[in-house]
Amino acid sequence: MAANSQALNFPHKKAPSLDEFLNDVAQRNPGEPEFLQAVHEVATDILPFVADKPVYRDLRILERIAEPDRVISFRVTWQEDDGTVHINRGYRVQNNNAIGPYKGGLRFHPSVNQSILKFLAYEQTFKNALTGLPMGGGKGGSDFDPKGRSDSEVMRFCQAFMSELVNHIGPDCDVPAGDIGVGAREIGFLFGQHKRLTRQFQGVLTGKGPSYGGSLMRPEATGFGTVYMMDNMLTHRNEAIAGKICVVSGSGNVATFATQKINELGGRVVTLSDSTGYIYDPDGIDNEKLQWVIDLKNNRRGRISEYAEHFGCSFFEDERPWNVPCDLAFPCATQNEINEADASHLIKNECEAISEGANMPTTPGAISALQEAGVLLAPGKAANAGGVAVSGLEMSQNSQRYAWTSQEVDDKLKDIMAGIHEQCLAYGEEKAGVNYARGANVAGFVKVADAMLAQGVI
């Protein structure tokens, strides 16, 4: 095998210890705590795995994935409606394209910086591998805050952002999509500007509207997929979502569609949140109330506290929902939203399982505590992969100049999530139960690593 013969040309190298590896990454990436956190979490599982596999170890596959192929940053200048000039910073991190074109979302949020986008692009590399579709890992975005901006301001920002990004993306090179702060409205403006600049109608973005090449079910895919992952985990132990009390954080794309699918499967969602706090509705957020939330967030662009006023329930300002008693938890807002104190509440309340709709929502200390307590934990790179999976299906449909029905896409999404669950079992089954985090890390790594080996030292 070509990969083995390459390895034979290398002198035997001792695998670095976890500390040596992390010190090296820390020195090369100062001031990037989120990136280091993501690399640490994967390395903890992969270094022992490669220790007796010289073909991966000597060719330094893990070290290569932890150095993005490139990080592009650029100025974005745009004007407010009153003429005020604003300067933001835009980024695209192209982490790894061993198994396909770079693929991953764009995040518009004031917290965005290089560390956050590097962690997201790194995670995306393993996540995309788990889907079984040919997509490499990338992520991008800007510290632009769409909150409180008019549609025309958002449009001008998107046009300015795309005027630079256009130089770095393409349907066979890098295909962005949405993430926090980037939904259907923003994708539409970005697509329009890309088309204007290139004079090409291309599948260069996913999450497009269905009238211009978007896949049916892409809006639903991440939230639905996160619930399918939970369903797979529970089915594996002969249980079901029906009748379970569910705590969901966030109230955006992922949280709302996760809530819809939980309702359909007979669970009861009692919380939603945003950056100002959470609402607790013990009667459950049924589909009628959920439609009200979707309108609040997508059209009126209001705050979740308005739900408590409208439906007469409690709002907890500046708090997160993890101390609410629950059977199942679905963090669907942002990174590091479950810390050790939150984990101890979940454990005390006998939460059984967590499916991460968000990327890296659980801190390392919280992960250890939850795993030790026997709480099932599906990591974001497995549990929220349904979104990018349907993005991959959107790329396939664009290439074929064809559109599948909602049912066809949903069936494929279910199969993909079942396949991800199987891969987690294949590499994560342990005496004490299934370590889904380890299973996802190793399965994702093996796929990317084998492609890198086949393609030589580049």
* Shortest reach from residue 359's CB to ligand NDP, in Å: 4
| Contact call for residue 358 and ligand NDP (CB under 6 A) | yes
Whose Cβ is closer to ligand 2IT: residue 100's or residue 439's? Answer: 100
Residue 103 interacts with ligand 2IT (CB under 6 A)? yes
Of 392, 353, 69, nearest to 218 (Cα)? Answer: 392
3-state secondary structure 184-251: HHHHHHHHHHHHHHHCCCCCCCCCCCHHHCCCCCHHHHHHHHHHHHHHHHHHHCCCCCCCCEEEECCC
Q: Which does 163 bind (CB under 5 to 8 A by kind): ligand NDP, ligand 2IT, none?
A: none
d(CA 31, CA 121): 17
381 is catalytic: no
For residue 43 the two structure tokens come to 């390395």
Could you give the CA distance from residue 354 to residue 255 in angstroms, rounded to a whole number?
A: 14
User: Which residues within the stretch 377-416 sit at the binding site for ligand 2IT (CB under 6 A)?
Assistant: 387-388, 391
Distance CA 448, CA 98 (A): 6
* Binding flag, residue 387, ligand NDP (CB under 6 A): yes
Question: Site map for ligand NDP, 399-438, x if CB under 6 A?
Answer: ----------------------------------------
Does residue 359 bind ligand 2IT (CB under 6 A)? yes
179 binds ligand 2IT (CB under 6 A): yes
**Which of 103, 127, 139, 447 is an active site residue?**
139
- For the bound state, the minimum distance from the C-beta of residue 381 to ligand 2IT, rounded and expressed in Å, comes to 9
**Cβ contact 256:297 at 8 Å:** yes
Q: In the chain, what's the furthest Cα-to-Cα distance?
A: 70
Exposed, middle or buried, 134 (CB in 10 Å: 0-12/13-18/19+)? middle
165 binds, among ligand 2IT, ligand NDP, none (CB under 5 to 8 A by kind): none
Binding residue (CB under 6 A) for ligand NDP from 90, 104, 138, 178: 178
List the beta bridge partners of residue 329.
Answer: 247, 354
Give the integer Cα–Cα distance in Å for 147 and 152: 13
So which residues are the catalytic ones?
Answer: 139
Q: Which residues bind ligand NDP (CB under 6 A)?
A: 111, 178-181, 183, 222, 250-255, 274-276, 332-334, 357-359, 384, 387
Q: Which residues bind ligand 2IT (CB under 6 A)?
A: 103-105, 124, 127, 177, 179, 206, 359, 387-388, 391
